[in-house]
Amino acid sequence: MNNNLQLNKNGELQHLLTTEGLPASILLNILDTAESFVGVPERDIKKVPLLRGKSIFNLFFEPSTRTRTTFEIAAKRLSADVVNLNIAASSQSKGETLLDTVNNLSAMHADMFIVRHSQSGAAHLIARHVRPEIHVINAGDGRHAHPTQALLDMFTIRRYKCDFRNLRVAIVGDILHSRVARSQIHALTTLGVPEVRVISPKTLLPTKVERLGVHVYHDMAQGLKDVDVLLMLRLQNERMLGARLPSAEEYFKHYGLTQEKLARAKHDAIVMHPGPMNRGIEIDSAVADGKQSVILPQVTFGIAVRMAVMTILAGN
Amino acid sequence: MHLPDAEQLLADLAEKMRPDVTKNTVLVGIYTGGVWLAKRLCQTLELTLPLGSLDVSFYRDDFGQIGLHHQVKPSSIPFEVEGRHIILIDDVLYTGRTIRAAINELFDYGRPASVRLAALVDRGGRELPIAANYVGATIVLLEDKMLALEQSNSGKLSLSLYDKISPG
């Protein structure tokens, strides 16, 4: 896929489609800008007038509550007008339907599209198609990428751990089906995290994942030893085509994060999860609600990070 | 051209403000120069309340033309704005657009009892009906000049004059 599609002729962000291939300077600029948005909801007036008069369309071809809601809140806190479209994607002629939808909304003077789609590359397709003054944000496409999730994870990590360059980070769970994991790996390596581990059963690991610069573990006790950050992934039942796992109970026994397994990590390690959580499958409630969990701050920071992305795109 | 000593202007500005300052006065500096000045004024005027700082990037009227043109710093208003007497502090007062943005941002935190403005230098060239209550000095400059406040490692303030980079 063409990553240059994301940058305009001045090397500035035109669309946000994937963290892959983006320079550290752009990622850090997003994180730094997000810092200024964290305080906005604490004011009497919980919004800033930056995107007043802009029309932002949430195009969700796949169900989502958290991501859609946080994008909507982020846009509203920037004073933009938001329209939510939950479109059940037809299984046939998706490409054509998708571009027709986009053409119609462009005719309504859309300024920005936020796209969630079950097919990898959907947001790229739209970005290639729209007029140059329209910006596209990928809110998750198939197994490919979910860049704003990865960015809010990076923001959260930096908030708690300050410096990326001395961290050991473990991504745990269903790497194979996870667009979040891919975007996290690209962001972590670009930001200079020296050791990124993936911990997963063999059946949930893409082939040649080592090429992304990660260390592979199949055993939690080994993989979690001395890590600073645990990025848990959701076990994606709806993507589990064919029997890749014997049972959810069996998965929890080996890969579910319990206090006992967490004790292998550093004592001040933080636990993150993109949500929605399957309690008792990939994470035990005692950990999810425990003092090392930063899962709810992730949600809060997600709004500030999405505000930063929208602002930077709208200004370029 | 000869520029006045910023440290002397700061001392003059503090004396002009002193009669109006009470223990309930709060200062809000506008990034970057205004924050340096606000910190110094707080010491000189022996103010005890915490000072605020504003980065008005999110309230500028030229976002549509130029986007975010520099790294934004978080604004911080660590006190209740409602009913407060506030003095905004800026280094160089010029078009008045920054002050317009700062007032708008301030009001999103609450409804202050009053807002006054102190500037180290007023260089004229106003494009909005805005005037400062306290000014260190008035210096008339040509449009193609940029006057900037700078701070040395030791904290000493000074003024410098630059040629504006012409667009294109």
Model pLDDT for residues A22-68, shown as the tens digit of each residue: 999 999 999 999 999 999 999 999 999 999 999 999 999 888 888 99
Q: Tell me the per-residue pLDDT of B95-124, one tens digit each, with 9 for 90 and over.
A: 999 999 999 999 999 999 999 999 999 999
For residue B128, the model assigns a pLDDT of 97
Where does the pLDDT of residue A238 fall: very low under 50, low under 70, confident under 90, or very high at 90 and above? low
For residue B168, the model assigns a pLDDT of 42
Q: Tell me the per-residue pLDDT of B83-95, one tens digit each, with 9 for 90 and over.
A: 999 999 999 999 9
* SS3 of chain A: CCHHHHECCCCCECCECCCCCCCHHHHHHHHHHHHHHCCHHHCCCCCCCCCCCCEEEEEECCCCCHHHHHHHHHHHHCCCEEEEEECCCCCCCHHHHHHHHHHHHHHCCCCEEEEEECCCCHHHHHHHHCCCCCEEEEEEECCCECHHHHHHHHHHHHHHHCCHHHCEEEEECCCCCCHHHHHHHHHHHHCCCCEEEEECCHHHCCCCHHHHCCEEECCHHHHCCCCCEEEECCCCHHHCCCCCCCCHHHHHHHHCECHHHHCCCCCCCEEECCCCCCECCCECHHHHCCCCECHHHHHHHHHHHHHHHHHHHHHC
Number of independent structural domains in chain A:
2
For residue A95, the model assigns a pLDDT of 62
Number of independent structural domains in chain B:
1
Inspect the interface and report whether the beta carbons of A315 and B57 lie closer than 8 Å.
no
Residue B58 inside a domain? The answer is yes
- As a whole number, mean pLDDT of residues B16-44 equals 96
CATH of the domain at A110: 3.40.50.1370
ipTM above 0.90, yes or no: no
pLDDT at A292 over 70: yes
Residues A285 and A243 in one domain: yes
Where does the pLDDT of residue A240 fall: very low under 50, low under 70, confident under 90, or very high at 90 and above? low
Mean of all residue pLDDT scores within chain A = 92
- As a whole number, mean pLDDT of residues B33-62 equals 95
**Distance between CA atoms of residues A240 and A44, nearest Å:** 46
For residue B166, the model assigns a pLDDT of 60
- As a whole number, mean pLDDT of residues A166-177 equals 96
Inspect the interface and report whether the beta carbons of A312 and B57 lie closer than 8 Å.
no
For residue A1, the model assigns a pLDDT of 44
For residue A239, the model assigns a pLDDT of 58
**Alpha carbon of A37: minimum distance to chain B alpha carbons (Å):** 7
Inspect the interface and report whether the beta carbons of A312 and B68 lie closer than 8 Å.
yes
**Alpha carbon of B11: minimum distance to chain A alpha carbons (Å):** 32
pLDDT at B141 over 60: yes
Residues A179 and A126 in one domain: no
Residue B159 inside a domain? The answer is no
**Alpha carbon of A49: minimum distance to chain B alpha carbons (Å):** 6
For residue A92, the model assigns a pLDDT of 43
Residues A153 and A291 in one domain: yes
Residue B102: which domain range?
Answer: 6-65+83-146
For residue A131, the model assigns a pLDDT of 94
Residues A98 and A154 in one domain: no
Residue A249: which domain range?
Answer: 148-295
For residue A288, the model assigns a pLDDT of 97
As a whole number of Å, the end-to-end CA separation of chain B is: 27
pLDDT at A249 over 80: yes
Report the predicted TM-score, pTM, of the whole model to 2 decimal places.
0.91
Residue B75 inside a domain? The answer is no
For residue A2, the model assigns a pLDDT of 46
Q: Tell me the per-residue pLDDT of A72-99, one tens digit each, with 9 for 90 and over.
A: 999 999 999 999 987 865 544 556 678 8
Residues A152 and A291 in one domain: yes
Residue B164 inside a domain? The answer is no
Say what percent of chain B tops pLDDT 70.
98
Between chain A and chain B, how many beta carbons pairs sit less than 8 Å apart?
49
Inspect the interface and report whether the beta carbons of A315 and B68 lie closer than 8 Å.
yes
Residue B10 inside a domain? The answer is yes
pLDDT at A274 over 90: yes
Residue B118 inside a domain? The answer is yes
